Amino acid sequence: MKKIIIVLVVVLSSCGKDTGKSYDFNGNWSLVDLDSTYYEIKIQNDTIVTYHKDLSFLPLRSFYVKNDSIYLSKSINNFDKKDGYLIKEVDEKSFSLIADEFNRKMVLKKIDSLSFTFDKLKNYKKTLKFEIDYLNRKNKLLGLEHQYKYSDTTTYLSQKKIDTSTVKLN
């Protein structure tokens, strides 16, 4: 599961020079992996940072693209040719990866650059805003209509006399 997600992230930020195609996957992406677990990924150059609400940050991975496949390292710069994923249906807002061993498609969706993502978290006081935005992106990707509102949440917490600078949603 984690391997597949990380591989997806790798695809996003690399260039396929062998086919003349160029991929620019830098940025933040959301995905639901093959077992329906929601992740957010930050791709920058040839590295991937993966965030999951319950697991926190997964180890940093490197990747490269060759032809129309992406290869993810098991650890930094430790690659195995068997860990490749076919890149399909690429545009500026989403792309798909086909997991070779499962032959199942995973779709990654671009997160709007104005969204409050994990890489913008500078201190604990911003955690509530991040958590609400994270849950809203997750609901949207899963096709759920419910969207949380930051103002409603802080109003409710204030009424209950809960300090919002230390709140973490579950």
100, 40: one domain: yes
Nearest to 50 by CA among 100, 116, 4: 4
Nearest to 43 by CA among 30, 55, 29: 29
Task: Indicate whether 96 belongs to any domain.
Answer: yes
Instruction: Using a pLDDT cut of 70, give the percent of the chain over it.
Output: 71
DSSP state of 123: S
Cα(20)–Cα(28) distance, integer angstroms: 25
Q: How many residues would you count in the chain?
A: 170
Cα(169)–Cα(20) distance, integer angstroms: 45
Q: What is the pLDDT of residue 9?
A: 47
Q: Which domain holds residue 106?
A: 2-110
Three-state SS at 157: helix
Residue 10 has pLDDT above 50, yes or no: no
Cα(38)–Cα(83) distance, integer angstroms: 21
Residue 21 has pLDDT above 80, yes or no: no
76, 147: one domain: no
6, 49: one domain: yes
C-alpha dihedral over 136, 134, 165, 120, to 10 degrees? -130
Cα(105)–Cα(161) distance, integer angstroms: 46
- Take residue 43 and report the two structure tokens written for it: 């791709």
The reported pTM is 0.65
7, 73: one domain: yes
104, 155: one domain: no
Three-state SS at 7: helix
7, 85: one domain: yes
Domain holding 54: CATH number? 2.40.128.50
Task: Indicate whether 102 belongs to any domain.
Answer: yes
Q: Are 5 and 31 in contact (CB under 8 A)?
A: yes
Task: Indicate whether 57 belongs to any domain.
Answer: yes
Residue 132 has pLDDT above 80, yes or no: yes
Total count of domains within the chain: 2
Task: Indicate whether 169 belongs to any domain.
Answer: no
Task: Indicate whether 167 belongs to any domain.
Answer: no
